[in-house]
Structure 1
């Protein structure tokens, strides 16, 4: 029998479906759910767009805003020291459900980050999507193993890409429902982050937020990549990064399925000349200098929106998209590493005051224990941090 699954080493993906006939069959079976997705989006997205000016933002401080993704398979012994050097308190660690035989390794890795707030992202494969009993057993093992270490979990990832196993939102809602039932019956203290749509495909987000499934998200997760548009200020269908955040936050605020907290669980830019490690083609890749600039401006815009509780940058170490390159057994800190450290040092204890921009300049003003912080930047110059004493 032809094996329909194969492993993709470079994009951290599960075994993906290779059999085209099987894939076509799955897509046909998902058609009713896809029609439902279209109809829900047709109703809810225009309403969310119209209500953007009337949706109140949250109060987001720098203390809880900055997060980093770290990986067991990328310099696990050195990573804790690098995290301390950056001053990051919030980490996202991914556990693939198809690697349950390595659970003890993941638990040890997570425990190595003493005093940090850990969010664990549970990655699915097709086998777990179609086997709720196995998923339930594996989730119980993970929740019990991390009982005193982690209370926050991202349930599923990249749900709108068939190569990650899901062929419809209905399948995802059933998958999430397994975790939600465990939360209600056995682990009430857990915080479950759901939805986790990748890119600006909010018709899928709408369906996760408006449905009759007996589930609820403690926070809404989004893999809000904007890399294919270049700079975060660039637009897609008329929406730049802040516009996309505003629309998603408005959509979420209308939903009875969430606590109205938005978390960006993954984003980055792919880097030039890093094939085969870059997750996209060379056409979408950027230079290390642009990567550092876009990364900082992404964070500044997301913080200025005051609608994103945390941004988890993906990730600390990765040849094709990380702050550090670890090819050939060497650790090379890219310019983005220092840019991230500087940004975190200025904004890590900041409180938002105001944001404005014109055609040529962007300005974010915050208050800090060191005085009022003024951050200005343009599309061609790096952010400039200045302080003014509080009167």
Structure 2
């Protein structure tokens, strides 16, 4: 006989039930008869009590073991008890379903048995016995722990994959849970991002089915509370990293709407309970951060992960910000566009010294000596280092060490101070962090950018007031360290409408306006977005700064995503399923390098941008080097070295268009490229090199394309 095959039992006191063969001994039966008294005494440990009670008791067959878990169900009303006569009580159903899951290895703790007592048609007592799970937690608790203590997207995804695989196994064995909240999936943490022994509990509402339909699967999974972006990823993992079936998506969406309506209508269905909770300020909390406060860092792409889909993000935005943005822009429009028209006429007119204007961003890693070694190829290039609030004091220490080494190597260093959502939730901690960063690093840096991509909710900001709150103690920092140039508010992309309401509230806190001016969605930097190419965007950025009395426009982050980067791409959203189709915005390495040089020429030689820092030196998905398995230079790195040793130390004189090409004239060099292939005459007496610095042989004329060519006098 199978150790878990159940047998019917009858106990003194009118108790009936089932007991697995492994435990069906006279001694165990005798102990069972005393269990109600044991639960009422001091030997049993009450570990949960709401509608039902859960106890931990010693196993009489193995007193030194983990013990037994006893769930004592509340006696049901008469009509429901009558129904239980035909379908089985909660304990009977839970035991039957646990036996099924355990037999299929589909996530059930060892079932032991159940027993109950009836008085006529009434169910008076009802008990379920299973093996107690030591060191167990549940899915929601682990999600909450990661979000609060270790907000790493890769670990969060590992947890979701563990849950998706366990849930799929449960469904594939023919069981639908019908109450699948994350609290009903127990697990045991075995490592930093590893879990084992999934166990489904509260099985009494389930169904055994010949085959669990997509509709039934959707009904189960719709109850899981996972932020919408990661919920979609969870479903893809559930379907073996494949596409989500349309029928499943349709039923899941309907079930989620039904659940949302049920939750939001609770105050109408239970008005007295709602009124009491409101009067007493009772908040029912799961311990999980709200979707609005969920923040996860994606190390592969070097940014926070998207957490919510766009429709959900819109629900949490402050509608009053629309009015603030509109009124501030209307108020400042006359001065802004007057300045823009004047600056438009000045583009490329004045000579520009390019020394120290084009730099790059580096990350502080455990192998920073390798970074320093590579930087020796571009001696003295300006470097921007980021200091992350999420890394705390250890991050400040690492930045201080790296900056000291960079300064010693002859680099001008600037600093970006990067917030997380916690900067808003715990403003005192953020202000203390900012003060410590300034105190420790002010003597070795020149520019300090405070905040990052403040118009992107994934970086932790949900509105104008939250953004401005980051700057609460900056006035004191400026007073203490007047030699520093303070940049902000670090708006991302060409969303300049955020500047007017922000800059008007930051009067006296800034020296220059910073932007992460990506143009990758338009392709080449010369391409237009409406009436604005990169040139016009830089002009408008400088006009925005000058119309608010600030000195200059700074680009502190930009790049293009590279093809073939997979999950490392900044556009991948931390996960790529089997059917992942790479966005058309990705470019190959040679195109990336050409765009980088052309971006620098337009932004800096126009005189409209004070500085550009390229993000970043090393990254698999978008860097000048691949940083997986060491630092591997790409075409763009060699293009930067060529730029730095030639025009990076030269003086721009003028720009002209002839022979179908664009010519950039410097005191010692000429750079030429064409937006469409053409041939250009080689200037007399000039040596010629390609974008990477390799010599080119030319006899009178030269084929020119989008890759810049260098002529040296």
TM-score by length of 2: 0.50
| Displacement after TM superposition at 1:362 (Å) | 1.2
Change over 3 Å in CA distance of 1:236–1:46 after alignment to 2: farther
Alignment partner, residue 222 of structure 1: 515
Shifted more, 65-74 versus 154-163: the winner is 65-74
Distance 1:22 1:228 in 2: 23
Aligned counterpart, 1:337: 637
Show the counterpart of 1:379.
675
State whether structure 2 residue 611 is matched by structure 1 residue 323: no
Matched residue SS, 1:319: coil
Q: How does 1:239-318 map to 2 (within 5 A)?
A: 239-256=532-549, 258=550, 260-281=551-572, 282-283=582-583, 284-318=585-619
Q: 1:92–1:121: 8 Å Cα contact kept in structure 2?
A: yes
Which residue of the partner structure matches residue 150 of structure 1?
445
2:391 corresponds to = 99
Q: What is the aligned partner in structure 1 of residue 357 from structure 2?
A: 65
Larger Rg: 2
| 1:171-210 deviation line (CA, Å, top 9, x unaligned) | 22221232233222x333322111211111110123223x
Q: What displacement does 1:129 show?
A: 2.4
Moved more, 77-86 or 349-358: 349-358
Q: CA deviation at 1:68?
A: 0.6
Q: 1:88 to 1:323 in 2, by over 3 A?
A: farther
- Runs of 5+ unmatched residues, structure 2: 1-286, 573-581, 677-704
- Of stretches 354-363 and 158-167 in structure 1, the one that deviates more from structure 2 is 354-363
How many angstroms apart in 1 are the aligned matches of 2:630 and 2:506?
48
How far apart in 1 are the matches of 2:322 and 2:508? 19
Q: Taking CA–CA contacts closer than 8 Å with sequence separation of 6 or more, which of the two structures ends up with the larger relative contact order?
A: 1
Instruction: Tell whether 2:340 aligns with 1:44.
Output: no
Aligned partner of 1:188 in structure 2 is 482
Structure-1 residue corresponding to 2:297 = 7
Residue of structure 2 in register with 1:82 after alignment: 374
Q: 2:420 aligns with which of 113, 116, 125?
A: 125
Give the aligned CA root-mean-square deviation in angstroms. Answer: 2.5
Q: Tell me how far apart the structure 1 counterparts of residues 336 and 308 of structure 2 sit (CA, whole Å).
A: 38
Aligned positions, number? 377
Q: Counterparts of 2:339 and 2:483 in 1: how far apart (Å)?
A: 33
Q: Are 1:206 and 2:497 an aligned pair?
A: no
Shift in Å, 1:8: 2.5
Q: Hey, what's the Cα distance between the residues in 2 that align with 1:359 and 1:244?
A: 27
Does the CA contact (< 8 Å) of 1:15 and 1:125 recur in 2? Answer: no
Aligned residue among 347, 350, 355 for 2:647? 347
SS for the counterpart of 1:297 is helix
User: TM-score, length-normalised on structure 1?
Assistant: 0.89
Deviates further, 317-326 or 378-387? 378-387
Residue pair 2:569, 2:622 contacting (<8 A) in 1 also? yes
Q: Is the 8 A contact 1:14 1:124 kept in 2?
A: no
Relative to 1, partners in 2 of residues 1:22 and 1:336: Cα closer, same or farther, differing over 3 Å?
closer
Q: Distance in 2 between matches of 1:105 and 1:347?
A: 33
Shift of 1:314: 0.5
CA distance in 2, matches of 1:191, 1:160: 22
Q: 1:248 to 1:8 in 2, by over 3 A?
A: same
* Offset from partner CA, 1:76-105 (integer Å, 9 cap, x none): 121112112023421011111111131212
Supply the distance in 1 between the matched residues of 2:483 and 2:465 (Cα, whole angstroms): 26
